[in-house]
Amino acid sequence: MTAVELHTPVLLDEALAALNLTPAGIYIDATFGRGGHSLAMLRHLGTHGRVYAFDKDPEAVRHAHNMFADEPRFTIRHGSYVQLEQFARAWGIMARVQGILMDLGVSSPQLDTPERGFSFRDEGPLDMRMDTTQGESAATWLARASEADIAYVLKEYGEERYAKRIARAIVNARVQTPFTTTRQLAEVVAAANPAWERHKDPSTRAFQGIRIFINNELADLDQALPQALNVLAPSGRLVVISFHSLEDRIVKNFMRDEAKGDDLPPDFPIRAAELHARMRLVGKAVKPSDDEIRANPRARSAVLRVAARLS
C-alpha cells in the first residue's frame, strides 16, 4: 500500500465511538475519501452488518472498488451526499440506517496530488473540482468572474479580510496572463495580501474560498443534513467532522435547531415533549488531542459533532 492508502482519518476513534456501532448495523460513509472510516467500520461489524458509501471524487470510487473488491458487506456509488435520500431509496435502506458519517472538506489525497489543483504549495493545473467529471474548474471561473464576484467568494467562503484588494489583483493579472496553475494564483494572492498571518500561507483563505465555491460545499451540506434525518433509523446517529468555522456553524445550528423543536416563544404554554424535536444532541463537540495534532497538523481545526434521531 502507498502512504496515501495508509492515511488515518482525523478523529477516527472518536468517530467510531460516536457511531455506536453494532455488529448487524447498517452505516453510511457519506465521504469515502480513501476508505479509512469505511475500513474501520467494517472491522467492527459482523457478517450481517453493512457499510454503504459514496464520494464526489471518481478517483475515490475507483480506489474503493479496488480496496473492497472482495468485501460483500460494502457498496459504493459515485455521487455527493446531497443525493443521500436518493441513494438510500435505491439501496432499500430508508429509515433503517444506524449511523451516517460525514467527514467534510477536501481529503488529504486531493491536497497531496498536485494535478488536482487544490494545493497552493505545489505546482499543478488550477482545477479544484472534487468531481472531475462535471462542473467548472477554478481556472475557468476565474477567467470569466467579475471582480465583485471574486471578492464575494473570497470574503464569504474564505473569510478573507482583504478580499476586495486580492480580487482586484486577480482581475488585473488575468489581463496579462490567464490563470492556469496553482502557483500562478498563489503568487498573485500573496503579493496582494498586505498582512500575512503567522504560521499561515497568505493564499490559504483565498484557496479555501474558491474551493468551497467551485464545489458548492456549503449549499450541499445545507441540503444533506435534513436528508440524514429521513435516512436514519430511530436512535440512529449523525456524526459530522468539520474543518472550518463555516461548515461547523451549519452543522451546529442544524443539530441545535432539530434538538430544540418548534420555534416558539420561550413563555409559550407547551410542554417540551410537544415541541416536535427530531434529534437529541449526544455529548459536546470533540476536538483532536494534542498528540493527534502533532502527528497530523491538518487535524488542528477539526470539530466532531454528534446527534441522534428521536423516535
Give me the pLDDT at residue 275, please: 57
Q: pLDDT averaged over consecutive 10-residue blocks of the chain (311 residues)?
A: 56 96 98 94 97 95 96 97 97 98 82 70 88 94 98 96 97 95 94 86 92 95 97 98 95 96 56 71 96 90 96 80
Query: Structure pTM?
Result: 0.90
Q: Name the region of 199 (left: φ>0; alpha: ψ -120 to 50; beta: rest).
A: left
For every residue of 44-71, DSSP letters joined together read H--TT-EEEEEES-HHHHHHHHHHTTT-
Hey, what's the cell of 176? 496579462
DSSP lists the bridge partners of residue 309 as: 279
Cβ 139 vs Cβ 170: under 8 Å = no
Cβ 220 vs Cβ 212: under 8 Å = no
Q: Considering only CA atoms, which of 9, 1, 3 is closest in space to residue 299?
A: 9
Q: Please count the CA atoms within 13 angstroms of the CA of 21 that sit on its side-chain side.
A: 23
Strand duo 74-78 + 279-281: pairing: unpaired
Strand duo 279-281 + 50-55: pairing: unpaired
* Residue 287 DSSP SS3: coil
